[in-house]
Structure 1
């Protein structure tokens, strides 16, 4: 549809500069800015109107039609339609922008209901979280995170649902609901992950509006971490980017010894891990859990964001919220403000001293 105004202008040129110029082309040129107002926006309407006027001047000069009433009436009609088209196009653009902002606000509010900020202090950890929406209109993403203090230690999850939109939000809600329930009753961390997987399998298809079905996305990558009283972190990784551990100024990815498929793709592999993997996590260390939107962020040269180097450069001196905000600014600079994918992160600092009891209040310390 966007090329129709230019095709009409081209047809007028062919008619006027060939033996077919006996055909009256005035109404055709008038349609050029009118159609552009519907399909091309204010800038495109202006370009189409200038092109139509230029063609009108050229054809009038070529055919020696200057001084006739027909030429002047054509010019007047073309100018009036161009002005009206520009005003209409501008109004349509503003209305679409208002609708997009309204939908975006609703989408953000819905996402904030599902993804709540984590407490500033959980047991032996000082924690911060961050969720950034990609610059792709009002489509809600499928990133998820949560951190909960339990009798087994602090348990955290980050995940990424394949796709965007309503089905992704529903999958996020299902996975987080299962996690928030299971972490308090399942001692086995692998079983907590299995509970999330089972919940997603039960909700493969859920009723949508007007009786239609809204399919949940095909798979979800997820990482669950547990920080007990001992100086370790236990991980269960199902196809998710490995967390980074900052120890003595060096950021190291905690790679799983056995790759595992995302949730929803368990049938593709036999022999899933039966127990979590443990890594040293001592006082003064910093642990970063994140989604792939961070490491897959590209600059204009197509280079990926160097997360380990950025983490090492920031060090452990900023508090978790300050660190995440500085990391956010680094991402914005790297991508020139154009994030292609959503981003979710949890940062946990291991502190000295005794952990809080599970029933204790959060300490902003």
Structure 2
């Protein structure tokens, strides 16, 4: 507030001391205009009143306040402009309050849908990152969640076709289906088939009226990580393959027989293969969605995830995620064209006991 006050004082003093044919009084309107950029209507109105008084003081100093029409017009004009600035301040504050309410409801809904993954599940240390493409959103069409089973941990990472808030409904549906059925099936293949039926049923019930049901599907990667066995079992439903960081090496774990994405009208016909690979203590498994690998720089070059990750193979999951976030946003100029999710899972020495419970992924 000192700046607009000082501005009023300086303009008034200079206007009094310059030649009589030079009129700087109209510049006083700058003070309330600047105040409106950081203050509310009451303080803006106060500065506006002071500018009007300052202009009147200048007219009184020269003895022309009530005798010269031009001075009276300047006072009236300052009064009208200050009142308009205060009015727009009031409108802005009301809209800001409405936006704050909407944002609080949105954040509550987003937290209910995607709750944070704990830093540790059994013998797994986990860190996750979620970057939504939609402005002012924390979630979109990408999803990830995990749950404990009797002998290990099951996880899913997926990507709904589309981006932003329009894909949240399908994302929420698949998360709910996974949470409900993850521990009911002995194999990942059976779990994938059940999830596919859930997605097809949802699309048939809610998307069919749009006329483009064939364009809706969800890529997904299902993982089962046993507590005792140093391995990972994986079923790939059209999702980008994970990266395995082991002994200063980065390997892409590609399924030789991936299934179609979920919701493709049971195209897989129940034929979901299960791939198994080694996952030793100290290894890190990196899961991601195509919003990461399809992020482009100003020249249209895709983000080289495997190449960049090779720099940080010795980092723990938290440090790795910090490096990836900074590097990815720098690559795409700070704005992603699609939702992006990354999860880093590191196997550590097993603890004396394993907590059971349901853990969900968060928007960070």
TM-score by length of 1: 0.66
| Cα distance in structure 2, aligned partners of 1:282 and 1:357 | 18
Q: Which one of the candidate residues 295, 298, 317 is aligned to 1:297?
A: 295
Is 2:330 the partner of 1:340?
Answer: no
CA contact (8 A) 1:179 1:195 kept: no
Structure 2: how far apart are the matches of 1:158 and 1:239? 11
Structure 2 residue aligned with 1:350? 347
**Is 1:322 aligned to residue 303 of structure 2?**
no
Secondary structure of 1:257 counterpart = coil
**CA distance in structure 2 between the partners assigned to 1:340 and 1:94 by the alignment:** 31
Q: Which residue is 1:119 aligned to?
A: 118
Contact 2:137 2:165 in 1 (8 A): no
Higher relative contact order (CA 8 A, sep 6+): 2
Q: Structure 1 CA distance, aligned partners of 2:127 and 2:171?
A: 20
**Contact 1:107–1:140, Cα closer than 8 Å, also in 2:** no
Q: 1:265 to 1:91 in 2, by over 3 A?
A: farther
Higher deviation after alignment, 214-223 or 323-332: 214-223
Q: For structure 2, which runs of at least 5 residues remain unmatched after alignment?
A: 1-76, 360-364
CA shift, 1:325, in A, is 2.3
Judge conservation of contact 2:282–2:346 (CA < 8 Å) in 1: yes
1:145, distance to aligned residue in structure 2 (A)? 0.3
Partner of 2:145: 146
For residues 345 and 312 of structure 1, the distance between their equivalents in structure 2, rounded to whole angstroms, comes to 16
User: Following the alignment from structure 2 to structure 1, what is the Cα–Cα distance between the partners of residues 282 and 120?
Assistant: 15
1:25 alignment partner in structure 2:
none
Unaligned runs of 5+ in 1: 1-78
Distance 1:329 1:99, change over 3 A: farther
Structure 1 pair 110/145, CA: closer, same or farther in 2 (3 Å)?
A: same
Separation in structure 2 between the aligned mates of residue 301 and residue 197 of structure 1, nearest angstrom: 38
Q: Tell me which residue corresponds to 1:285.
A: 283
Q: Name the SS of the counterpart of 2:254 in structure 1.
A: coil
Matches of 1:350 and 1:136 in 2, distance apart? Answer: 35
